[in-house]
């Protein structure tokens, strides 16, 4: 019966993934035994008999707690697998992002190799500690919210949530890629903004930055908050593995926040390199007055608005995609009820 499957699913989703298969079989056997004691079986039992059995077993939260053996955790067993997954993704992404930065700096910098390697190791340790702290705080908050949202009203089996349809499920690769890009975004703008620019590898390497690093630094807290918000959203996707109204709303809020930050950031003329075109001319990459100079200058002058438009379009497409997923889900639910 669907109600039994929903109960077992609700219980096992609050347990470590490695235990779910065994506990699912155990619960199925337990329910069937309890139905047999009432002179029924899983196929012929009435809805009232099934509800009585489930009420006797207790709410899924309490049943999962019995299997766990104890209740109070910073990161509970129901979230610990997702916690370790997100933490590994974040730490691996940090190592990869900083590694790429180190390799690029190795070829364009004149500093001694030993100093660059030491700087990489120090940055790796520092950012790794921050990443660990962020992920732990995010999951502790999710755990706390879950505990606070437990209702004191009597539990009813009929209120069990439905098992999500395949079309509404979130593939694990989606939040993984989201976390990866968030970390790359954070590392690039926090530690390596000087790499965003024009590089010429000749007898003497030339680097012409797009942004004024000192002016850009005042916006770093906004970037850090946006990164933490993104990891929080992706972690929740990895936990629920399905689109919910709350997830959809938070995703749209993140897109809106991204657009707001982009407008604030790129509208500030002080963050842009004020002598970018002069440096291009001095490096010999363009010559004042020729066609290529005018083309590059036109692109440079419009780059601020262009970046904002690109971010707005990407956020709009992503928002419409999420809304359409929710709309299709509602259509599917309506069809099932007819």
Report CA-CA distances (Å) from 213 to 192, 206, 218, 222, 280.
Answer: 9, 17, 9, 15, 18
Choose between 26 and 111: higher pLDDT.
Answer: 26
Whether the predicted pLDDT of 192 surpasses 50:
yes
Average pLDDT value for residue range 54-62:
84
Taking phi over 0 as left and psi of -120 to 50 as alpha, with beta for the rest, 241 belongs to left
Whether the predicted pLDDT of 72 surpasses 50:
no
Whether the predicted pLDDT of 259 surpasses 90:
yes
Whether the predicted pLDDT of 334 surpasses 60:
no
Identify the pLDDT of residue 260: 93
Residue pair 257/198 in contact (Cβ under 8 Å)? The answer is no
Reported as a single tens digit per residue, the pLDDT across 84-122 is 888 888 999 888 888 887 887 777 666 666 777 787 788
Average pLDDT value for residue range 256-263:
92
In 3-state terms, what secondary structure has residue 207? strand
Report CA-CA distances (Å) from 289 to 128, 186, 196, 296.
Answer: 49, 38, 26, 11
Report CA-CA distances (Å) from 116 to 26, 77, 111.
Answer: 56, 41, 7
Joined together, the tokens standing for residue 295 give 């083309």
Percent of the chain with pLDDT over 70: 83
- Among 119-128, 150-159, 169-178, 328-337, which stretch is predicted with the lowest mean pLDDT? 328-337
Task: State the pLDDT confidence band at 242, using cuts at 50, 70 and 90.
Answer: confident
Residue 258 neighbours by CB under 8 Å, 6+ apart: 226, 311, 315
The mean pLDDT value of the chain amounts to: 80
* 291-300 contacts at long range (C-beta below 8 A, 24 or more positions apart): 300/276
Q: Which residue has the tokens 């069990």?
A: 160
Q: Which residue has the tokens 């109204």?
A: 245
User: Is 0.85 topped by the overall pTM?
Assistant: no
Average pLDDT value for residue range 14-36:
84
Identify the pLDDT of residue 185: 86
Joined together, the tokens standing for residue 219 give 């916006």
Identify the pLDDT of residue 152: 54
Instruction: Look at residues 233, 198, 162, 153 and name the one whose alpha carbon lies nearest to residue 10.
Output: 162
Q: No. of H helices and E strands in the chain?
A: 12, 2
Reported as a single tens digit per residue, the pLDDT across 276-320 is 888 888 888 888 878 888 888 888 888 878 888 999 999 999 888
Q: What angle do CA 168, 172, 176 make, to 5 degrees?
A: 130
Beta-strand pair 206-209/197-200: antiparallel
Joined together, the tokens standing for residue 313 give 């379009």
Percent of the chain with pLDDT over 90: 11
Average pLDDT value for residue range 167-194:
84
Instruction: Look at residues 293, 303, 314 and name the one whose alpha carbon lies nearest to residue 271.
Output: 303
In 3-state terms, what secondary structure has residue 12? helix
Report residue 206: phi and psi, to 5°.
Answer: -120, 130
Identify the pLDDT of residue 73: 54
H-run or E-run covering 200: strand 197-200
Identify the pLDDT of residue 77: 62
Residue pair 127/98 in contact (Cβ under 8 Å)? The answer is yes
Whether the predicted pLDDT of 331 surpasses 70:
no
């Amino acid at each position: 019966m669907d109600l039994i499957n929903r109960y077992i699913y609700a219980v096992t989703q609050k347990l470590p993934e490695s235990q779910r298969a065994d506990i699912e079989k155990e619960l199925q056997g337990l329910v069937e035994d309890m139905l047999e004691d009432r002179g029924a079986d899983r196929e012929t039992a009435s809805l009232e008999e099934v509800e009585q059995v489930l009420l006797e077993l207790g709410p899924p939260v309490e049943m999962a707690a019995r299997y766990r053996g104890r209740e109070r955790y910073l990161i509970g067993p129901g979230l610990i697998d997702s916690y370790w997954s997100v933490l590994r993704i974040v730490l691996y992404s940090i190592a990869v992002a900083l590694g790429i930065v180190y390799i690029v700096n190795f070829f364009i910098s004149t500093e001694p190799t030993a100093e660059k390697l030491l700087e990489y190791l120090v940055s790796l340790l520092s950012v790794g500690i921050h990443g660990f702290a962020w992920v732990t705080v995010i999951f502790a908050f999710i755990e706390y919210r879950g505990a606070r949202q437990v209702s004191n009203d009597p539990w009813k089996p009929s209120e069990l949530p439905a098992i999500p349809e395949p079309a509404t499920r979130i593939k694990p690769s989606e939040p993984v890629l989201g976390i990866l890009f968030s970390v790359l975004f954070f590392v690039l703008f926090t530690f390596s903004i000087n790499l965003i620019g024009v590089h010429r590898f000749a007898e003497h390497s030339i680097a012409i930055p797009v942004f004024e690093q000192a002016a850009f630094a005042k916006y770093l807290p906004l970037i850090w908050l946006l990164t933490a918000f993104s990891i929080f959203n992706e972690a929740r996707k990895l936990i629920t593995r399905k689109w919910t109204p709350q997830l959809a709303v938070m995703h749209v809020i993140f897109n809106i926040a991204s657009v707001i930050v982009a407008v604030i950031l790129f509208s500030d003329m002080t963050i842009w390199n004020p002598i970018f075109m002069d440096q291009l001319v001095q490096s010999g990459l363009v010559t004042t007055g020729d066609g290529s100079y005018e083309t590059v200058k036109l692109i440079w002058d419009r780059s601020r608005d262009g970046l904002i438009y690109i971010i707005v379009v990407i956020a709009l497409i992503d928002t419409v995609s999420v809304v359409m997923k929710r709309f299709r889900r509602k259509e599917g639910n309506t069809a099932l009820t007819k």
